[in-house]
Structure 1
Amino acid sequence: MTHKIDALVIGAGVAGLYQLHQLREMGLAVHGVDAASDVGGTWYWNRYPGARFDSESYIYQYLFDETLYKDWTWSERFPAQPEIERWMHYVADRLDLRKDFTFSSRVTRAVYGEDTGRWTVETDTGDVYDTQFLVSCSGMLSAPLTDRFPGQDRFEGRIVHTALYPKEGLDLEGKRVGVIGIGATGIQVIQTIAPVVDTLTVFVRTPQYVLPMKNPKYGPDDAATYKARWNELTSNLPNTFTGFEYDFEHVWADCTPEQRRAILEENFADGSLKLWLASFSEVFFDEEVSKEISAFVRQKMEARLKDPKLIDILVPKQSDFGFGTHRVPLETNYLEVYLQDNVEAVPVRDNPIAEIVPEGVKLEDGTVYPLDVIVMAVGFDAGSGALSRIDIRGRGGMTLKDEWEKDIRTTLGMQKHGFPNLFMAGAPLAPSAALCNMTTCLQQQTEWIADCIKAMRARGVTVIEPTAEGEDAWVQHHDETANATLIAKTDSWYNGANVAGKPRRVLSYTGGVGTYRARCQEIAEKGYEGFALTGAPETAEPAE
């Protein structure tokens, strides 16, 4: 069946729910599609043991409606997945959003018609949508890397990827469990299941800098306090460097060694990401500053581990990478887990995993670790992966997958030259690709998209597409900004290094959330400078 609509939204997560709400409020005929059976986005799929916020709960919220904000109360500073999923349901119910979504339906193909200026979108359930605008809110970390090792299909136990963890859960009590990967997700799993399993074998390739989480429970007074900050948060969050409530306040060169240490200690003691995102911005740019702050974090980690062998396996060396150039995980007694008798850390950088055999994990030297369950915390094809897995065809039959296999380019991380009327939130070359409190950035992007469509309708134009020159200018600015950072010099998913053959480019805009917001606003105020706005192809007007 073909449905003719004004806009189709892919995804029912933080971005998709708000985007559909905005477009519907404008009077558009809009519909949403999601592969999940209900709303939630990342908080639907990532239900592995230990999954929780590492943004403070009171800032990971929608800020467009004061009543919507204040009528929900969080139970703690960094809530776990079940509570977050309940919040998503609360939003969907309050705004009556489910009626305009089709769930358990995955978009498989989208083709732009140059003769009509419209998209034809197909799903795996047989629905076809004829839509003027296609808006992807499919997520920046929603394309899990599942098939990572030879022999996975021969394993006689159970293999689960953290992003595809079974809704009914897994009984791990008394089991021999292996966890592959110690990024933010792997760490949450490890610290949560260690007390339950019989044995836990953690395969460690890249050690991580970690920060301890302080997660107090919230009573009525705490909730009243953060709700009273509504005006402060709505004005502050969109303009900080990373969309968090805190921002960089100190300049390294202006401080004495004693002052620097005191600032680091104060931020570390906050039990949040503040040390990373609000101590010294030079940690992202200056190798000497990076060395000193990295040494500070290593000292904190080493003091907890004590065992030289564990320190060698689990604590990064400066020659590996500097603190903050990888995603920084928050943890709760994660390092102490390795001091338990039932937990073993197995280094696999120099002796990598060769294959999965029927009984467990086999290393290159032939060692086999027998296991009942393997938890794959091996990451995602970040930023570009979700859309690359859909057959999206723009002008002249060009495919987005082919274009991004050559070079990952966008304009503002919200559109792509050659793909008219395709909007994206959480795509490459915007802060939301990695370096942002996600609700802050996704709200800004979906609001910009909604305002753009509103401006098009007011001007009587039907098609918008970045010009080649406009895209070149944004990519050049993005690269100049990113390449000034140490992130660009460090292999990680931040620049696609975790996916073989992926073009290398820092995925996230690193100029700051407030700067990005101002630039987007400036472009809109200049009549969408760098974009071609036209009528339907048969009545095309010159682009302004």
Structure 2
Amino acid sequence: MGQFKRDISGTNTDYAKTKNDTYADNLETEVLIVGAGFGGIYLMHKLRQLGFRCKIYEAGKNIGGIWHWNCYPGARVDSQIPIYEYSMPEVWKDWTWSCRYPGYEELRKYFDHVDKVLDVRKDVAFQTRVVGAQFDKPSAKWVIKTEDGRTAKAKYFLLATGFAAKRHFPDWMGMDKFKGEIHHSSFWPEGVDVKGKHIAVVGTGSTGVQIAQETSKDAASVTVFQRTPNLALPMQQKPITEDEQIKRKDQYAEAFKYRMTTFCGFQYDFVDRNTFDDTPEVREAFYEERFRLGGFEFWLANYKDLLFDSDANREAYNFWAKKTRARISDPVKRDILAPLEPPHPFGTKRPSLEQNYYEMLDRPENEVVDINMTPIIEFTEIGIKTEDGKHREFNVIALATGFDAVTGGMKNMGLKDVDGIELSEKWKIGTWSYLGMTCAGFPNMFFLYGAHGPTAFSNGPSCIECQGDWIVDAMKKLKDEDIKYIDATRQAEEEWHRKYMSANIPGKPREQLNYAGGIPLYEKECREVLENGFQGFITA
């Protein structure tokens, strides 16, 4: 089971640990950021501009966050360019993409470009994993411990670990027995050969959809083990020339400004009418146009009552099912992949984007196994056994079983509150935060793109810039007003908690972990806290 045993820091270029103070033991810095992806880099750049001294601790060997780790077959972004990039002109003015939805290789090149413009890497300690952190009240500083024994102290501790930082491994019996190749999607090594091989894909989240779709091109067979159907939408991928993008550059500033006014931070928004305001004929044509345009338009540029009215939601699902079922000739696969009855209300889980997922799985050599009806019993040396007595043989098994999403990364870092209680313990019976950026008992600690923010219901960079700007402005206010630290109150946490699915982790409380009111309302509520003198916080 070699992939679980390999160095989890990744397979990219190994940046040697330089002799600068970024890697120093007993490091003293004003701001310590965890994570060198979209969020961490944005925070560091904005804080540097205000004169803050910043360092980043990054577990991997390169910048890019999820795009450093993701190199599984078909790994690709689901937000259309230029919406999926930084809004900073100094970054976008000299950068162009090859297509509407870039893959991981191109996104890594983008982060190389970001580094050239913003000079990121000199202040990043790579292969540095945080295993403990606690705020020391007498010194008003965070004391942070790393896996290799180093210590750092910082006035501000910022977590930019992302919502999918802790991988989820199922506990099926015999997983360590399998003699072929077995890889979690987030540990996927470069150069896995699937040509002519029998592939198992366990899981049908966005990762599972992408791996199954991509490996089906060359594999002898692909078997997908599905618990919940993915209500995937057509991506409508297409190339975009450099000239096309250069001609549009004068519209970028307005496009980035507009994305922050939309519900989920995309380049489009819900239309200002309800589903049944239109005749059936007009509604059908409207739905067809959303499918033709592709991406998340059928989800987020649909009728405004889609997510709020059950009949409207069912109408949209019925259209999705009709369009999708027409693409699948096998009746058994059709009912598993696109059932007539919705597995959950459409759009309440983020759909995946696909290019030819349904056509690929419809091929006779490929199989879809509904593990609700025929559960996985065990892994063997040569394959997977299911409850119906079948023993399927595989050369490669892809575990697309997802992550302990939204909260997993923060709970896995040894974070302790001022009384020494671990965050993982405090969040055992539910997740608590204030504004989706702070936690009671953790002074001067901020996080973004995590629990109780717009996170999974948003375009990543839009959410990050919304929350990042608030954190930066809060820190500037603290500095200007000579406040040593702020700490959210428990009452503020409870009120925020009341405003609000973590279904893939056994034993984890089922709760709404994402702010569902949209980015504009979220930003308004957070800004009011600053305008009212850190309402909901204790200051010292």
What is the TM-score of this pair, normalised by structure 1?
A: 0.92
The aligned counterpart of 1:474 is 496
Deviation at 1:130, TM superposition (A): 0.9
Q: Secondary structure at the match of 1:281?
A: coil
Q: Secondary structure at the match of 2:428?
A: helix
Structure 1 counterpart of 2:122: 99
Structure 2 residue 339 is matched with structure 1 residue 333? no
SS of equivalent to 2:415: strand
Q: Secondary structure in 2 aligned to 1:6?
A: strand
Q: Deviations over 1:152-199 (max 9, x none)?
A: 111111110111111x23111122211111111111111111121122
The equivalent residue for 1:108 is: 131
Query: Equivalent residue of 1:201, what SS?
Result: strand
Note if contact 2:173-2:377 (Cα within 8 Å) is conserved in structure 1: yes
Is contact 1:239-1:517 (8 Å) kept? no
Q: In the alignment, is residue 214 of structure 1 matched against residue 239 of structure 2?
A: no
Equivalent residue in structure 2 for 1:443, among 461, 465, 475: 465
The answer to whether the 8 A contact 1:250-1:279 is kept is no
Sort the Cα spacing of 1:178 and 1:305 in 2 relative to 1 into closer, same or farther, 3 A. Answer: same
Deviation at 1:250, TM superposition (A): 3.2
Secondary structure of residue in 2 paired with 1:284: coil
The superposition leaves residues 279-329 of structure 1 with CA deviations (integer Å, 9 ceiling, x where unpaired) of 123221211111111000000011111321111121134252222122211
The worse-fitting range, judged by mean Cα deviation, of 22-31 and 235-244 is 22-31
Report the secondary structure of 1:475's partner residue: helix
CA 1:318–1:7 in 2, change beyond 3 Å: closer, same or farther? Answer: same
- Note the 1:104-503 alignment, pairs <5 A: 104-166=127-189, 168-252=190-274, 253-432=276-455, 434-476=456-498, 478-479=499-500, 495-503=501-509
For 2:480 and 2:59, locate their aligned partners in 1 and report how far apart those are by CA, in whole Å: 33
Q: What is the root-mean-square deviation of aligned Cα atoms in Å?
A: 1.3
Q: Are the counterparts in 2 of residues 58 and 226 from structure 1 also a CA contact under 8 Å?
A: no
Give CA deviations for 1:241-290 in whole Å, capped at 9, x if unaligned.
00001001132243222222222111111011111011123221211111
Q: TM-score, length-normalised on structure 2?
A: 0.93
Query: How much does 1:110 deviate?
Result: 0.6
Kindly indicate whether the alpha-carbon contact (under 8 Å) linking 1:179 and 1:186 is maintained by their aligned counterparts in 2: yes
Q: CA deviation at 1:474?
A: 1.5
C-alpha separation between the residues in 1 aligned to 2:466 and 2:527? 10
| Equivalent position to 2:531, from 513, 525, 530 | 525
Distance 1:281 1:124 in 2: 48
Residue of structure 2 equivalent to 1:36: 60
- Where does residue 7 of structure 1 map in the other structure? 31
Which SS does the other structure have where 1:405 is aligned?
coil
What is the Cα deviation at residue 532 of structure 1?
Answer: 1.5
Letter in 2 for 1:531: F
Between the two proteins, what is the percent identity of the paired residues?
35
> Which structure 1 segments of 5+ residues have no match?
480-494, 535-544
Paired with 1:16 and 1:316, the residues of 2 have a C-alpha distance of 41
Distance in structure 1 (CA, Å) of the matches to 2:47 and 2:532: 23
Does the Cα contact within 8 Å between 2:329 and 2:362 map onto a contact in 1? no
Q: C-alpha displacement at 1:24, in angstroms? A: 2.0
Alpha-carbon separation, structure 2, partners of 1:62 and 1:142: 21
Deviations 1:219-257 (A, max 9, x none): 133212432221321221111100001001132243222
Residue in structure 2 matched with residue 23 of structure 1 by the alignment:
47
Amino acid at match of 1:517: E
Give the secondary structure class of the aligned counterpart of 1:395. Answer: coil
CA distance in 2, matches of 1:146, 1:308: 32
Could you tell me how far 1:528 is from its partner in structure 2?
Answer: 1.6
Aligned residues: 515
Contact 1:238–1:517 at 8 Å: present in 2 too?
no
- Give the distance between the partners of 2:329 and 2:195, measured in 1 at CA: 28
1:374 is displaced (CA, Å) by 0.4
1:51 partnered with 2:83: no
The structure-2 alpha-carbon separation of the partners of 1:170 and 1:217, relative to structure 1 and needing over 3 Å to count, comes to: same
- 1:71 to partner: Cα distance: 0.9
State the distance in 1 between where 2:220 and 2:434 align. Answer: 50
Q: CA deviation at 1:343?
A: 1.3
1:71 aligns with 2:77: no
Residues 21-64 of structure 1: per-residue CA shift (max 9 Å, x gap)? 1222222221101111000100011111101111002111111x
User: Secondary structure at 2:256's aligned position in 1?
Assistant: helix
- Give the SS at the match of 2:433: coil
Amino acid at match of 2:245: A
After the TM superposition, which of the residue ranges 169-178 and 413-422 deviates more from structure 2?
Answer: 169-178
Measure the CA separation in 1 of the matches of 2:234 and 2:450. 30
Q: Deviations over 1:100-143 (max 9, x none)?
A: 00001111111221322211101112221111111000010121
* Partner residue, 1:486: none
CA distance in 1, matches of 2:478, 2:82: 34
Matching residue of 2:10: none
CA 1:111 to 1:29, structure 2 compared with 1: closer, same or farther past 3 Å?
Answer: same
Counterpart residue number, 1:541:
none
Aligned CA distance change for structure 1 residues 372 and 513 (closer, same or farther; 3 Å): same
Q: Is the 8 A contact 2:440 2:493 kept in 1?
A: yes
CA distance in 1: counterparts of 2:248 and 2:295, whole angstroms: 16
Counterpart of 1:158 in structure 2: which amino acid?
Answer: E
* Amino acid paired to 2:178: F
CA deviation vs aligned residue, 1:427-452 (integer Å, no higher than 9, x gap):
211102x1000000101111111111
How much has 1:147 moved relative to structure 2?
4.0
Is the Cα contact below 8 Å between 1:209 and 1:316 reproduced in 2? no
Secondary structure of 1:338's aligned partner: helix
The letter of the residue matching 2:262 is: T
SS at match of 2:264: coil
**Alpha-carbon separation, structure 1, partners of 2:187 and 2:457:** 24
The runs of 4+ residues in structure 1 deviating greater than 3 Å are none
* SS class of match (1:341): coil
Whole-angstrom CA distance in 1 between matches of 2:131 and 2:64: 20
